[in-house]
Chains A and B, each alone.
Chain A
Amino acid sequence: MNRPTEATARSAVGNDLERALDQVNAVIVGKKAVVELAFSALLAGGHLLVEDLPGVGKTTLAQALSVVLGGTWQRIQFTNDMLPADILGVSIFRRADEQFEFRPGPVFANVVLADEINRATPRTQSALLEAMAEGQVTVDGQTHALPQPFFVIATQNPLDMAGTYPLPDSQLDRFLLRTAIGYPSAAEERRLLIEPDRRDLLANLQPVLDPARVSQLIRTAAGLHVAEPVLDYIQALVHATRSHASLRAGLSTRAALALIRTARAHALVRGQDFCLPENVKLIFPALAGHRLQTMPEAGLSVDQVVAEIIDATAVP
């Protein structure tokens, strides 16, 4: 995949974002595209769902991200006996001054890794997902704002379905992007085997950004130029999902808006100062995949249909 970074100026963004990417790429070997997607979700102000097998680096990715972003980070390992309070936090009565005191749960962090989110009961899942949507938590009638920026990386194992509660469609929609990580290539895997333990690398990682800088980057991304042809392309892709015979329903207008937002963020991550069709093309599968469903008779997976749509849509 060609990166047009040579062609387009980084000047508007500064070097810190590039350095942050390099840091994460140093830990997660050979997954540049996934790292870019993760940063895009973050800079578009959304959340990321990683669907993959255990041991391919989901947790490492989340940890590396949280370190370079410079904020706080928490990991929640979901189980089926978990309660909403285990995530959001509880109000406890303090005997000393005879008052209720709110003890924030693990969700109060800049980066939250929600591991195996589909193991929790729907009630617990929705507690987290509401927090993701609102940016705040309400416990015992009191509202507590979550730290900004707030970024959730949730994971789930697509194969191990026993004893899980699959996320309903409406909640899947709360995740801006969904992606897999995938196995590394042979050469990259060899590097992983030879090189020092990733945990040591993580420990040596230095923060590059800070929450205020991330908020600023989010604003920068939102203001990036999107030309008419790129808008045409976005519309053509969304329209193609609506008229495709194998799909139950097409993408909503909200999804189209999310597509523009993420394409801008992706352009920023790649150091461009305007949006290219490449940006749209690269994030479209991650954005559309979990928002679409195929007809069972069609015998095609959503990913196949999405690839088909991309292949059939002309780039203006």
Chain B
Amino acid sequence: MAQLPAHPLPPFNAVAWTVAAFVTAAAPHLLAMPIWLAGAVLLVCAWRLAAAHYRWRPPPALLRLSIAGIGIGLIIFAFGGLWGRRTATALLCVMLAAKMLEMFTMRDLRLVASVCFFLIATQFLFNERLVYLGYLVLGSLLATIALYRIQEIRVGPGRADLAGEVVGARGGALLLVMAVPVALTLFVLFPRLAQPLWGLPDQVMDGRTGLSDEMSPGSISNLFLDDSPAFRVEFDGLPPPPEQRYWRGPVLWNFNGNTWSRPFFSDTPRQSFVPVGPRGLSYRVQLEPHERRWLFVLDFPVSGPDTATLTVDHQMLHRHPVTTLMQYEVVSNPDFVDMPSLPAGLRTLATRLPEDRNPRTLALAAQLRQRYSDDRELIQSVLSWFREEAFYYTLRPSPLGRHGVDEFLFDLRSGFCEHYASAFAVLMRAAGIPTRVITGYQGGFWQAGSQYLLVRQSDAHAWNEVWLEGSGWTRVDPTAAVSPARIEQGARSVLDAPRHLLDRDWIQNLRNRYDRIQHLWNRWVLGFDHQRQQRLLERLGLPDMSVERIALLMIVMLSLVSALLAWLVLQPRRLSPRSDAEKAWQRMLRRLRRQGFVKQAQETPLEFATRVQTGMHPAGPEFMRLTQLYCRVHYGNQGSETARFLTGAKAFSPSRT
């Protein structure tokens, strides 16, 4: 037989609120773990509810212990160890579920409900998007209500009916509302550090793809199905026209016949100085975390944030992979001439091709080279060939074999931007023209209402740069030759067919609207960093605050806010005055308050008058006389004396006597 617990079993409603808080807090974590593990956790929650309903006793200690042990074993099995954020949060979920098996005292209930807050907070290690604000509010609300109900049990048996639950829920909600000013103070004044306090070691993309540092057929078209935002840009002044919105990411030089990749020298910092130029563009980018070091910029970046370096091929590389939302300012000069003369080493690198690959392409290049001695003419002829021959732009290209470029150029003739960029580069290199492949994003959706450019993952793109005598590295986009609409109107305009129901216009509209709110959230909440904090404080007249001073200010403000809240909560309910006499009486009280005599709410008028008199206030006797008159008017049935009281009250002036 199970031993009887020392305490009575907790009532069903407290257990139900606690389980609800846990399931809500664990929801995103459960979605991220294997389905059988999540199912097991939910099963334990269901058992706990049933146990509360049928008044079952807790299972024996040995069974509880072994279930906890099995839980750890399952985690190791599912995640291959006990390291990493996902593993740690999953372990927390599973152990809390195990705790539910022995959650039969007030103390255990309170523990589970309290840890729910921590569980909610851990979700923000993975994702800080706006939707999780709703999750945060709902989860905290349920956990607060659970704590409120648990506390009520200790004080006395709460009402068990539905009305009682509503009262409990309202109590919890009120507590949460009272926490809002404290939270806001903490948010604005908590000292921000330039670096996060903890490193974020492993993948947080959760299966979402971003632009990779390599390009092989299909690597970008995968991204095309992903509508999530890649970054947002605000411009000083007007944004550049769509055909100039080439967001430069990885620059690829090496080709092995299938995949384009970056050489080591690509990380070398740039030595050359790029002037701002007459058409210099200044803009701010809000980059979603993408786990890589690129900061996307327009050609050619002049300057960027201090934490980033500009490489020799004009990539902007951040010091660390971008794991949280990041904001940076860039100035670009579109008219810069990159490398008027090409060093011999780079020329070799930019014309190198793998051997024994794509013989037909090589033959075509040789043929073109014979016909056109001028590089520019050769390029034009290839582009017009792309344009005039039956090349198609498609999302569903066929897989390519060993001579991929040959197959693409001569047999299939349908593909996505990476096919065109790759084929074009191979053709150019075969003809002896230095060429590199640039991947990044092209275009973006201009949110006219909020004045920012939204660039989605589906805007990922690949294009080329060729080196030409006199104009240096020059951008050439073969995809534009095949499908000008892709460049001018955005990737979505060239779809073969709507991908799914979500492509309806009004849904797209809603998504764009939602993104504006997300943008504001990113800008004012997630992007509220050290600099913005400093700027805000400056505007409030507190310039040049050190971290220590901000911390001090925060402590002072927190004390003030808490004191204000306490005053509001402890304030006795003010009754609105019903008569002229009562209003006049309250005016008298206000005058006396300035003299340091404050009437307590629980004091009767005569008690207060006595206190004023014994307090040796010179106006004491007069006040006592008026109070007696007021009592006759207010509590008695002598309405006839109202006028006399009002006159006396009006003349009453404790400061002059």
Interface, chain A (partner B; CB < 8 A)? 2, 4, 6-8, 225, 227-230, 232, 245-246, 273-278, 281, 295, 297-298, 310-316
Complex Cα–Cα for A277 and B610 (A)? 15
**Which of these binds chain A: B121-129, B278-286, B627-635?**
B627-635
Are the C-beta atoms of A7 and B631 separated by less than 8 Å? yes
Count: A-B pairs, CB below 8 Å: 71
State which of A6, A227, A278 has its C-beta within 8 Å of the C-beta of B607. Answer: A278
Check if B207 is an interface residue, CB within 8 A of chain A.
Answer: no
Closest beta carbon of chain B to A141's beta carbon, Å:
47
Q: Which of B584-622 contact A (CB under 8 A)?
A: 601-607, 609-610
Closest beta carbon of chain B to A145's beta carbon, Å:
36
Q: Mark B140-162, 1 if CB is under 8 A from A, else 0.
A: 00000000000000111000000
Residue of B nearest to A230 (CB): B635
Are the C-beta atoms of B635 and A295 separated by less than 8 Å? no
Are the C-beta atoms of B636 and A314 separated by less than 8 Å? no
25 contacts between A and B (CB under 8 A): A2-B607, A4-B631, A6-B628, A7-B631, A8-B631, A8-B636, A225-B636, A227-B637, A228-B578, A274-B635, A274-B636, A277-B605, A278-B604, A278-B606, A278-B607, A281-B604, A295-B156, A297-B156, A311-B602, A312-B572, A313-B602, A314-B572, A314-B575, A315-B602, A316-B575
Are the C-beta atoms of B604 and A277 separated by less than 8 Å? yes
Closest beta carbon of chain A to B349's beta carbon, Å:
80
Complex Cα–Cα for A311 and B631 (A)? 21
Contacting residues, chain A, for B155 (C-beta < 8 A): 245-246, 297-298
Contacting residues, chain A, for B632 (C-beta < 8 A): 7-8, 274
Closest beta carbon of chain B to A237's beta carbon, Å:
10
Given contacts A274-B636, A315-B605, 19 further A-B contacts (CB under 8 A): A2-B609, A4-B631, A7-B632, A8-B632, A227-B637, A232-B575, A245-B156, A246-B156, A273-B636, A274-B632, A274-B637, A275-B635, A277-B604, A278-B607, A297-B155, A310-B602, A313-B601, A314-B601, A316-B575
Are the C-beta atoms of A312 and B602 separated by less than 8 Å? yes
Check if B573 is an interface residue, CB within 8 A of chain A.
Answer: yes
Interface, chain B (partner A; CB < 8 A)? 154-156, 572-573, 575, 578, 601-607, 609-610, 628, 631-632, 634-637
Contacting residues, chain A, for B604 (C-beta < 8 A): 276-278, 281, 315
Complex Cα–Cα for A312 and B634 (A)? 22
Closest beta carbon of chain A to B155's beta carbon, Å:
4
Contacting residues, chain A, for B601 (C-beta < 8 A): 313-315
Complex Cα–Cα for A281 and B604 (A)? 9
Residue of A nearest to B602 (CB): A311
Residue of B nearest to A277 (CB): B604
Closest beta carbon of chain A to B354's beta carbon, Å:
81
- Given contacts A227-B637, A245-B155, A276 and B602 within 8 Å (CB-CB): no
Are the C-beta atoms of B637 and A225 separated by less than 8 Å? yes
Contacting residues, chain B, for A273 (C-beta < 8 A): 636
Residue of B nearest to A276 (CB): B635
Closest beta carbon of chain B to A205's beta carbon, Å:
32
Closest beta carbon of chain A to B544's beta carbon, Å:
48
Complex Cα–Cα for A4 and B636 (A)? 13
Contacting residues, chain B, for A8 (C-beta < 8 A): 628, 631-632, 636
Complex Cα–Cα for A295 and B575 (A)? 31
Closest beta carbon of chain B to A113's beta carbon, Å:
34
Most buried by A among B575, B604, B609: B604
Complex Cα–Cα for A70 and B177 (A)? 65
Are the C-beta atoms of B603 and A2 separated by less than 8 Å? no
Complex Cα–Cα for A315 and B630 (A)? 14
Contacting residues, chain A, for B578 (C-beta < 8 A): 228
Complex Cα–Cα for A257 and B224 (A)? 78
Are the C-beta atoms of B635 and A227 separated by less than 8 Å? yes
Contacting residues, chain A, for B573 (C-beta < 8 A): 314
Contacting residues, chain B, for A316 (C-beta < 8 A): 575
Closest beta carbon of chain A to B651's beta carbon, Å:
19
Most buried by A among B573, B603, B636: B636
Complex Cα–Cα for A8 and B638 (A)? 11
Complex Cα–Cα for A137 and B101 (A)? 64
Residue of B nearest to A272 (CB): B636
Contacting residues, chain B, for A230 (C-beta < 8 A): 635
Complex Cα–Cα for A138 and B637 (A)? 44
Contacting residues, chain A, for B605 (C-beta < 8 A): 277, 315
Are the C-beta atoms of B636 and A229 separated by less than 8 Å? no
Most buried by A among B156, B572, B610: B156
Are the C-beta atoms of B156 and A276 separated by less than 8 Å? no
Are the C-beta atoms of A4 and B607 separated by less than 8 Å? no
Instruction: Give me the 10 closest cross-chain CB pairs, A-B, nearest first.
Output: A7-B628, A314-B601, A274-B636, A2-B610, A245-B155, A277-B604, A227-B635, A225-B637, A314-B572, A315-B604
Complex Cα–Cα for A232 and B610 (A)? 23
Contacting residues, chain A, for B628 (C-beta < 8 A): 4, 6-8
Residue of B nearest to A310 (CB): B602
